[in-house]
Amino acid sequence: MTELHGNRWQVAHGRSLELGRSSSIMAIVNVTPDSFSDGGRFEAVDAAVAHALACVAEGAQIVDIGGESTKPDADPVSPTEEQGRVLPVIEALRGKTDALLSVDTYRADTARLAIGAGAHIVNDVFGLQREPELAHIAAQTGAGLCIMHTGRDRQKLTDVIDDQVAFLDRSLAIAAAAGVPRDNIVLDPGFGFAKDVEENLELMTRFDALQRFGLPLLAGTSRKRFIGAVTGRDASDRDVGTAATSVILRMQGAAIFRVHNVAFNRDALAVADAILATRAKSREKSS
């Protein structure tokens, strides 16, 4: 079970966010036509900006803006197309909210341009192992860095935690070699990325083992296929199941929750945070 120890996450443009003592929510804003549960809804800049601001009003501290769907059968987009989708949204939001802005990209050039446009964080679903130059961009700009585990395009180890450790150790070595401070890094175990239902459930069960890295942990289970396998719900109807996973992972040490439905998860996590705070007080009294 997690303890309520705070970590201050350092991000670009002189900003930071305290993590750990209470849950932090990262809202998903897909500026794409083909994302798995909300493709096309926020493809226009005005729609994406309005949705992002609504998420912040509901309690999101971070807005994660992506211009390329990461579902397994998605059509790839060019760097120019990706940048044409995300940069106008980041530029518009920069003057409208104090929430931290994250760009969901594995491309170093997109990351560089997004930070220049006002992004504070880079969320890399290939954990710096697709374009390692992205680590140098993060180091040079002081950007926050979400390093995600993926099982795509490689041979995985049999044990889910052994595979997490092997992959993330390599990613952290890339970050260290580029000069990225550890205070700028958050780790994401990559629920749903080349993981079947059983692997996702085992990863949830053993999630607290990832605290071995001594870094804040991000949970991105929102509306994933394994939740549908458990609940029988379609992607657009998995917010209750998502909130359940958020609570389970919060109790095991997750600090940030990347979600589509901010309000559902905010309320569920408020209960988890209250339980953790009560537990901490009880331990203080007995010590």
H or E segment to which residue 201 belongs: helix 197-205
Amino acid identity of 275? I
Are 24 and 7 contacting, i.e. CB atoms less than 8 angstroms apart? no
Q: Which band of pLDDT confidence, cut at 50, 70 and 90, is reported for residue 38?
A: low
Are 98 and 61 contacting, i.e. CB atoms less than 8 angstroms apart? no
pLDDT of residue 145: 98
Q: Which band of pLDDT confidence, cut at 50, 70 and 90, is reported for residue 32?
A: confident
Tell me the whole-structure pTM to 2 decimals: 0.94
Whole-number average pLDDT of the chain = 94
228 φ, ψ (degrees, to nearest 5): -65, -35
Task: Tell me the two tokens of residue 22.
Answer: 């209470």
pLDDT, tens digit (0-9, with 9 covering 90-100), for 218-256:
999 999 999 999 999 999 999 999 999 999 999 999 999
Q: Which band of pLDDT confidence, cut at 50, 70 and 90, is reported for residue 285?
A: confident
Examine the pLDDT at 283 and tell me if it is beyond 90.
no
pLDDT of residue 37: 54
- Alpha-carbon dihedral sign for residues 61, 149, 161, 167: negative
pLDDT, tens digit (0-9, with 9 covering 90-100), for 99-109:
999 999 999 99
Examine the pLDDT at 79 and tell me if it is beyond 90.
yes
Mean pLDDT along residues 204-223 = 97
Looking at 112, 238, 250, 258, which residue is catalytic?
A: 258
The SS3 assignment for 29 reads strand
pLDDT of residue 34: 56
Q: Choose among 211, 214, 208: nearest CA to 183.
A: 214
pLDDT of residue 284: 84
Mean pLDDT along residues 212-216 = 97
Residue 129 per-residue DSSP state: S
Looking at 195, 223, 224, 250, which residue is catalytic?
A: 224
| Residue spans per domain, the chain | 7-286
pLDDT of residue 1: 42
Residue owning tokens 């932090």: 24
Is the domain spanning 7-286 CATH 3.30.300.10? The answer is no
Residue 224 is among the residues annotated as catalytic for this protein: yes
Chain centroid offset of residue 137 CA: 19
Q: Which band of pLDDT confidence, cut at 50, 70 and 90, is reported for residue 286?
A: confident
237/46 Cα distance (integer angstroms): 25
266/208 Cα distance (integer angstroms): 21
For the chain, percent of residues with pLDDT exceeding 70? 94
6 vs 130, higher pLDDT: 130
pLDDT, tens digit (0-9, with 9 covering 90-100), for 253-264:
999 999 999 999
224 contacts: CB under 8 Å, gap ≥ 6: 191, 192, 200, 238, 242
